[in-house]
Structure 1
């Protein structure tokens, strides 16, 4: 539940990033402090909770209660009175946390000078813990270094696990690694150590592990079935759009791929403006009932933009390989192949979802350009007063 709560506030932070679309924003609502923008800096004290989101998040003002931070680079350099939830590519915690710490990132660094008053739950690529933890530690990463005392139990999993000279575990230690490692008696008594072999998760590693562990088949099949259902839903939705409005879809495709980088920029701007309506609507009583409508519009806009981006890029690549027929079956075939490839890209760490995100923004930009063009065509031209006809002599009047 704690991890789900962290993810929920990270999503809320993502919403706040877009209000307004291009400038940094800071406001206090209900006693909580909200900060968003490209560079989200919170230097003033927060009397209650603090929520910060942006490309770069820097918290230097004390937070009396919970702090929630999401961004590419997250730096918490101020005391947090209660719990801290942080997610980003690089996460650094340098000051005391009164309650629990939940952090996720490619690089998570809990530095000296920080103290964790409760439990710590950390997931990432490279994890370094140099601060004492008063509760338990649950951590999993590719490389994990513990160099601080842990008062409670520790459950660790890493391909490379290292204990520094200041490491000491007061409770039980359960660790998972490719092979058992030597742990100094000063870290923990040998009778309190429990080893579990960490299975490799390389290419097809997950499938091989599930084959050896039949009791996990239902969960694996459920994930695979969900993948197929999502793929089928996207394909059916796109097929309906192609059948109902083929000319409009082709116009959108050409507009999107003609200037892809401009389309990406317009997509970021359009999605940001739409998401930014959520906190704006929440600030007024009249706007609160509109929030479900805005969320529905965001979902439709998201799905349509993603499908358009995949279709435009797939057709461009396929057309470069050879001339294609413009039949409905050819379009559906190209779209299906593009959807499968885009879905497979998600299994590539980091770069997979980044490529899909760029495809999404490109498609959204095509929709934004089309909407702006449609609005400009509907804007009535300025009325020009009719010219009075010149007096024509009766003798020269032609019938």
Structure 2
């Protein structure tokens, strides 16, 4: 539930104008804040949603408080639940119900007393605010320096305890190595250690998968193949129906210069993958990283389909087929190519090379078309007598 709410928050507030001043929207008792930088003293009656590159919340929220940003600082008292997500999350205010937070660095300070349960996840997690309920933590480095009245569950690479650390219930920790838990934190009778390794995690995942109802292996593989085949046939039908000329031009790019298409495919794919870290490094572009990843998936899928179609039509003509077959025959040839490529996947290494080659050919053709569009097409070259120049 918190993840759904935070996702909705991010989609909603980033759709609002990102200005230097805070944007405020109220609807049905809920209050939404957005902007590049938010430093707000809130006094809201219902649920409150805040999202920006940097968020600092003060005051009090009578309902739930949802905060999303790169740097998140919550110094507001929350009458119900608090949800916080960011690269750096610091909680300083009191929470009357539950607290859920995730980030690269997560910290609750001494004033962040939580009356309910606390769930935290991050690379570095520090708990200094007292917890009246149960505490659940997952992180690489976890530091507890507060009183926890209920049970504590922790999964971490390293766990340490400060002078104020006390666990009133059962302390269960999962880590690679057993540690010495001080008696003042929890007596040995209330400490449970479970060794956790990557192999153990994989075994747990397999056990969970085995408990789930699934189709037999062959039936599952066949069903996946049928669904994939239908997807590509529908995609091919849409392309042939709505953009036949452009599709034919792209196919000609591949057929006329396959080597050039592969080189351009490497270039285009490199640019697409390079967009992800570059977008993330701008910080402002972090919300658009999923869009960049989606573009990679979309380009990969379209490139694979275009490459398969181009190679299939080239082989069709080489085997004596019609130069300009109808759309139904084109789809049939395309479907046959998809089936043949699926069979190649059963051959180690060969199937991977074939699939990747098709992706490079298709993306290369699209890259060339994009370059021609951006640079402009000068048209047919003419000599001084206004006659076409032969290649």
Deviation at 1:190, TM superposition (A): 1.6
Deviation at 1:226, TM superposition (A): 9.8
Tell me how far apart the structure 2 counterparts of residues 240 and 25 of structure 1 sit (CA, whole Å). Answer: 43
Tell me how far apart the structure 2 counterparts of residues 62 and 313 of structure 1 sit (CA, whole Å). Answer: 52
Give CA-to-partner distance per residue, 1:44-84, whole Å, 9 cap, x none: 32232211223333322321221012233322122222210
Q: 1:44 to 1:332 in 2, by over 3 A?
A: farther
Give CA-to-partner distance per residue, 1:178-235, whole Å, 9 cap, x none: 222101111112211122222325xxx6444456x5x75134969x999998897577
TM-score of the aligned structures, taking structure 1 as reference length: 0.58
Aligned match of 1:32: 30
The CA RMSD measured in Å over matched residues stands at 4.6
Q: 1:199 to 1:303 in 2, by over 3 A?
A: closer
Aligned match of 2:163: 165
Aligned match of 2:236: 242
Contact 1:106/1:125, CA 8 A, preserved across alignment: yes
Deviation at 1:311, TM superposition (A): 3.5
Deviation at 1:167, TM superposition (A): 0.5
Deviation at 1:244, TM superposition (A): 2.9
Contact 1:239/1:332, CA 8 A, preserved across alignment: no
Deviation at 1:97, TM superposition (A): 1.4
Aligned match of 2:298: 308
TM-score of the aligned structures, taking structure 2 as reference length: 0.60
Deviation at 1:245, TM superposition (A): 1.6
Listed as ranges, the gaps of 5+ residues in structure 2 are 251-267, 280-290, 314-332, 346-362, 364-369, 374-391
Contact 1:152/1:172, CA 8 A, preserved across alignment: yes
Aligned match of 1:275: none
Instruction: Tell me, yes or no, if structure 1 residue 15 matches structure 2 residue 11.
Output: yes
Contact 1:242/1:249, CA 8 A, preserved across alignment: no
| Structure 1 residues 65-84: aligned runs within 5 Å | 65-84=63-82
By relative contact order (CA 8 Å, sep 6+), the higher-ranking structure is 1
Q: 1:151 to 1:169 in 2, by over 3 A?
A: same
Tell me how far apart the structure 2 counterparts of residues 228 and 93 of structure 1 sit (CA, whole Å). Answer: 51
Aligned match of 2:114: 116
Deviation at 1:238, TM superposition (A): 4.3
Tell me how far apart the structure 1 counterparts of residues 58 and 205 of structure 2 sit (CA, whole Å). Answer: 45
Secondary structure, aligned partner of 1:27: strand
Secondary structure, aligned partner of 2:136: strand
Tell me how far apart the structure 2 counterparts of residues 302 and 230 of structure 1 sit (CA, whole Å). Answer: 26
Tell me how far apart the structure 2 counterparts of residues 149 and 228 of structure 1 sit (CA, whole Å). Answer: 55
Q: 1:231 to 1:160 in 2, by over 3 A?
A: farther
Aligned match of 2:286: none
Listed as ranges, the gaps of 5+ residues in structure 1 are 269-300, 341-358, 360-365, 370-399
Aligned match of 1:292: none
Deviation at 1:137, TM superposition (A): 0.7
Q: 1:325 to 1:162 in 2, by over 3 A?
A: same
Tell me how far apart the structure 2 counterparts of residues 43 and 66 of structure 1 sit (CA, whole Å). Answer: 15
Tell me how far apart the structure 2 counterparts of residues 72 and 220 of structure 1 sit (CA, whole Å). Answer: 40
Tell me how far apart the structure 2 counterparts of residues 15 and 163 of structure 1 sit (CA, whole Å). Answer: 38
Tell me how far apart the structure 2 counterparts of residues 73 and 185 of structure 1 sit (CA, whole Å). Answer: 36
Tell me how far apart the structure 2 counterparts of residues 332 and 40 of structure 1 sit (CA, whole Å). Answer: 54
| Structure 1 residues 1-399: aligned runs within 5 Å | 4=1, 6-23=2-19, 25-200=23-198, 206-210=201-205, 213=207, 217-219=210-212, 236-246=230-240, 248=243, 251=246, 308-311=298-301, 325=311, 327=313, 329=334
Contact 1:16/1:53, CA 8 A, preserved across alignment: no
Contact 2:233/2:334, CA 8 A, preserved across alignment: no
Q: 1:315 to 1:230 in 2, by over 3 A?
A: closer
Give CA-to-partner distance per residue, 1:316-369, whole Å, 9 cap, x none: 9x89xxxx7474759976xx99xx9xxxxxxxxxxxxxxxxxx9xxxxxx9xx9
Deviates more, 1:66-75 or 1:136-145: 66-75
Tell me how far apart the structure 1 counterparts of residues 101 and 40 of structure 2 sit (CA, whole Å). Answer: 19
Q: 1:329 to 1:55 in 2, by over 3 A?
A: farther
